[in-house]
Chain A
Amino acid sequence: MKLISLLWGNMFRKPTRTSLTFVSLVIAFLLFMLLRAISDAFSGGVSLEGMDRIVIDSKYSMTDNLPLSYVQQIRSLDEVDQVTSMSWFGGYYREPRNSFATYPVDPESYFDIFPEQLISAETLGRFNNIRVSAVASEALAAQYGWNPGDTIPIIQDIFPQENGSWTWQFELAGTFEYSGGQLLLINYDYFNEAVIGWGKDQVGWLVGRVADPPEVDSTIQLIDGMFENSSDPTRSTTEDEYRRQFASQLGDIGTISGMILMAVFFTIILLTGNTAAQAFAERVPELATMKTLGFSDLSVAALVLAEAVALCVCGGMVGVGIALLLEPGLNANLSEMVGSFDMSGQSALYALGLATLLGLIIGAYPAISAKRLTIVDALRER
Chain B
Amino acid sequence: MSELIRCTNVCKEYLRGAEKVEVLRNVDLSVKRGAFIALMGPSGSGKTTLLNLIGGLDAPTSGEIEVDGLRLDSANARSLASWRAQSVGFVFQFYNLLPVLNAQRNVELPLLLTDLSRSERHKNAALALDIVGLSDRGKHKPGELSGGQQQRVAIARALVSDPCLLVCDEPTGDLDRTTAEEILELLQTLHRELGKTILMVTHDPKAANRAEYTLHMDKGKLVSTVEGPDLELEPARTVA
Q: Is A353 an interface residue (CB 8 A)?
A: no
User: Do A9 and B57 touch across chains, with their CB atoms under 8 A apart?
Assistant: no
Give the A-B pair count, Cβ closer than 8 A. 67
Q: Is B78 an interface residue (CB 8 A)?
A: yes
User: Do A2 and B98 touch across chains, with their CB atoms under 8 A apart?
Assistant: no
User: Do B96 and A294 touch across chains, with their CB atoms under 8 A apart?
Assistant: no
User: Do B105 and A294 touch across chains, with their CB atoms under 8 A apart?
Assistant: no
Looking at the complex, which one of A13, A296, A375 makes contact with B99 (CB distance below 8 Å)?
A13
Residues of B within 8 A of A319 (CB): none
Q: Is B82 an interface residue (CB 8 A)?
A: yes
The smallest beta-carbon distance between B131 and chain A, in angstroms, is 18
Q: Is A5 an interface residue (CB 8 A)?
A: yes
Residues of B within 8 A of A318 (CB): none
Looking at the complex, which one of A5, A292, A382 makes contact with B57 (CB distance below 8 Å)?
A292
Looking at the complex, which one of B84, B112, B157 makes contact with A3 (CB distance below 8 Å)?
B112
Residues of A within 8 A of B100 (CB): 6, 9-10, 12-13
Q: Mark A294-324, 1 if CB is under 8 A from B, else 0.
A: 1111000000000000000000000000000
Q: Mark A357-380, 1 if CB is under 8 A from B, else 0.
A: 000000000000000000110010
Residues of B within 8 A of A5 (CB): 101, 105
Residues of B within 8 A of A6 (CB): 98, 100-101, 105, 109
Q: Which of B117-163 contact A (CB under 8 A)?
A: 157
User: Do B84 and A293 touch across chains, with their CB atoms under 8 A apart?
Assistant: yes
Which residue among B52, B55, B81, B84 has the maximum number of chain A CB atoms within 10 Å of its CB?
A: B81
Residues of B within 8 A of A297 (CB): 77, 81
Q: Mark A152-191, 1 if CB is under 8 A from B, else 0.
A: 0000000000000000000000000000000000000000
Using known A-B contacts A13-B100, A286-B98, determine if residue A293 contacts B58 with beta carbons closer than 8 Å.
Answer: no
Residues of B within 8 A of A3 (CB): 112
Q: Is B110 an interface residue (CB 8 A)?
A: yes
Looking at the complex, which one of B58, B78, B110 makes contact with A296 (CB distance below 8 Å)?
B78
Q: Is A254 an interface residue (CB 8 A)?
A: no
Q: Which of B76-118 contact A (CB under 8 A)?
A: 77-78, 81-86, 90, 92, 94, 96, 98-101, 105, 109-110, 112-113
User: Do B57 and A293 touch across chains, with their CB atoms under 8 A apart?
Assistant: no
Complex Cα–Cα for A94 and B36 (A):
92
Q: Is A289 an interface residue (CB 8 A)?
A: yes
User: Do B96 and A289 touch across chains, with their CB atoms under 8 A apart?
Assistant: yes
Residues of B within 8 A of A296 (CB): 77-78, 81-82
Q: Is A204 an interface residue (CB 8 A)?
A: no
The smallest beta-carbon distance between A278 and chain B, in angstroms, is 16
Total count of chain A residues near the partner, CB < 8 A: 23
Looking at the complex, which one of B86, B92, B101 makes contact with A379 (CB distance below 8 Å)?
B92
Looking at the complex, which one of A2, A9, A292 makes contact with B84 (CB distance below 8 Å)?
A292
User: Do B81 and A295 touch across chains, with their CB atoms under 8 A apart?
Assistant: yes
Q: Is A291 an interface residue (CB 8 A)?
A: yes
User: Do B58 and A294 touch across chains, with their CB atoms under 8 A apart?
Assistant: no
Q: Which partner residue on chain A sits nearest B49 by CB separation?
A: A376
Residues of B within 8 A of A285 (CB): 96
Residues of B within 8 A of A289 (CB): 92, 96, 98
Looking at the complex, which one of A286, A293, A295 makes contact with B90 (CB distance below 8 Å)?
A293
Using known A-B contacts A293-B84, A375-B58, determine if residue A382 contacts B101 with beta carbons closer than 8 Å.
Answer: no
Using known A-B contacts A2-B112, A376-B58, A379-B92, determine if residue A294 contacts B98 with beta carbons closer than 8 Å.
Answer: no
Q: Is A332 an interface residue (CB 8 A)?
A: no
Residues of A within 8 A of B57 (CB): 292, 375-376, 379
Q: Which partner residue on chain B sits nearest A297 by CB separation?
A: B77
Given contacts A297-B81, A376-B52, 11 further A-B contacts (CB under 8 A): A5-B105, A285-B96, A293-B157, A294-B113, A295-B81, A296-B81, A375-B52, A375-B57, A375-B58, A379-B57, A379-B92
**25 A-B pairs (CB sep. < 8 Å):** A5-B105, A6-B100, A9-B100, A9-B101, A12-B100, A285-B96, A286-B98, A289-B92, A289-B96, A289-B98, A292-B57, A292-B84, A292-B90, A293-B84, A293-B110, A294-B81, A294-B85, A294-B113, A295-B81, A296-B82, A297-B77, A375-B57, A379-B92, A382-B92, A382-B96
Query: Could you list which residues of chain A lie within 8 angstroms of chain B, going by C-beta atoms?
Result: 2-3, 5-6, 9-10, 12-13, 285-286, 289-297, 375-376, 379, 382
Query: Could you list which residues of chain B lie within 8 angstroms of chain A, going by C-beta atoms?
Result: 52, 55, 57-58, 77-78, 81-86, 90, 92, 94, 96, 98-101, 105, 109-110, 112-113, 157
Task: List 7 tightest A-B contacts by C-beta distance, closest first.
Answer: A294-B85, A9-B100, A289-B96, A2-B112, A294-B84, A375-B57, A376-B58
